[in-house]
Amino acid sequence: MEQKIAFEEHFNTPEFDKNIPDYVRPEQMVEIRAKLLDVADARLREMDAAGVGYSLLSHNAPGIQGVDDPEDAVKLARQTNDTIAQIVADSPARYGGMATLPMQDAQGATEELDRCVTQLGFPGVMLNGFSNTPDGKGAWYYDHERYLPFWERAESLGVPVYLHPRNPLPANAGIYEGHPELMGAVWAFTVETATHALRLMTSGLFDRFPDLKIILGHLGECLTFNMWRIEHRVNSMGDLRKFNRPLGTYLRENFYVTVSGNFHTPALHNALAELGPEHVLFSTDYPYESMRVASDWFDTTDISESDRQLIGQTNARRIFPNLPVQIGNPAA
């Protein structure tokens, strides 16, 4: 399929190059670091070879979320978003931008969200998991009431918020002690992000803001598979509940999932069965995954052609405002 739209497509800025953990073997990270800094020749060639017409660039994890000082986070987020805006201005038919926000400062994040959407024209937000507290030892999760004005603004602007993984802080990573192989995309990312998403659901956030749109990568971080059991057991908790509707309803109505980094047809079939094809989207997780491997799988996997079109492009155009009408390489 040509002209696919992808939006878990990571890039980095030199200021954050030294802050990236070794998510894979150090020798592999050397190549990944170089690809993260490239938004020109090599990345565009990969997009063309994979039939990806348009990428929404997102700042690499943990990015702004890993900054301790709120004032620094506000300054660096604005600087990063201005960099993204310039990249988009240079290649408007190939790139869009996912806003990166200083959630350490809830008001500053709301103001930067507004600037990114209304002035820079960004169609979405990428939050790289929780944000550090000023001492660097704690975590701000976004179900806290301090973020209600942020979520209200996100809903009113109509932009989806992509909740992307990051590793747990050392104080919360005891279960992985002695097993570093379970960190990152192997398992810790899934546990951290799925739990954060469940915190949003169980906080009553979607009762307050029923039109919020949240995106999860990797075919939903196992939530589509586990939701029946989660909902079944939480229904027995009575007065502990802070939410009004079945958790599966929030998953089906407020959440979208991408195929990024999970190119497995049975898992895709599960997501389609639980959410419907209107809530599944294409992405690759470049450069941690190969665009061509992702596209070769997606272009031939066992789904209907109508679902392939929805997932590959139509759904993105429906849920993201401000996407250009014409995308892709005009010389192709």
Pairwise CA distance, residues 242 & 238, whole Å:
10
Q: What does each C-alpha distance from 103 to 19, 40, 65, 127, 268 come to in angstroms?
A: 18, 29, 7, 8, 32
Pairwise CA distance, residues 197 & 255, whole Å:
9
Pairwise CA distance, residues 224 & 190, whole Å:
12
Length of the chain: 332
Q: 177-198 burial string, b = 16+ CB within 10 Å, else e? A: eeeeeebbbeebbbbbbbebbb
**Virtual CA dihedral for 83, 86, 91, 94, nearest 10 degrees?**
40
Beta strands in the chain (DSSP E): 4-11, 52-59, 95-99, 124-127, 131-132, 139-140, 161-163, 214-216, 255-258, 280-281
Closest of 204, 97, 116, 198 to residue 154, by C-alpha: 116
For the four alpha carbons of 112, 113, 116 and 119, in that order, the dihedral sign comes to negative
Active site residues: 285
> Contact at 8 Å (CB) between 15 and 76?
yes
Pairwise CA distance, residues 16 & 18, whole Å:
6
| Burial zone of 218 (CB within 10 Å; 0-12 exposed, 13-18 middle, 19+ buried) | buried
